[in-house]
Amino acid sequence: MLNLNSRLSLISKLSLISKLTLISKLSLISKLSLIAKLSLNSKLTLISKLTLISKLTLNSKLTLISKLTLISKLTLISKLTLTSKLRLISKLTLISKLTLTSK
């Protein structure tokens, strides 16, 4: 669990990389937490993880994840799976870098 300072720091970094509303930012943090948990569950296939991410993206209008192409999503999920020891903030940085390179 992130402490209050870490959460505030994460929200501040999100403010710098997009114009998401606070609700969208908190939603994104929840999605990243879910992705991290899924990464630890080796029984889920890559396709299952992609399907879940796609469904989560459909439920939200403004997230960094929704800006990624299908190929970037697959790359992101496999990288997060291989690097499941990354902290949440590191995963967020990875997503923002992938978002910038997918344009």
Confidence of residue 41 (pLDDT cuts 50, 70, 90): low
Residue 35 has pLDDT above 50, yes or no: yes
Stretch 9-26: mean pLDDT? 58
CA angle 13, 51, 34 (to 5 degrees): 40
Quick: pLDDT tens for 51-84: 666 666 555 544 455 555 555 666 666 665 555 5
Percentage of the chain lying above the pLDDT 90 cut:
0
Stretch 1-22: mean pLDDT? 59
Mean residue pLDDT of the chain comes to: 59
Cβ neighbours, 10 Å, residue 9: 13
Question: What is the rounded CA–CA span in Å between residue 63 and residue 65?
Answer: 5
Give this prediction's pTM.
0.21
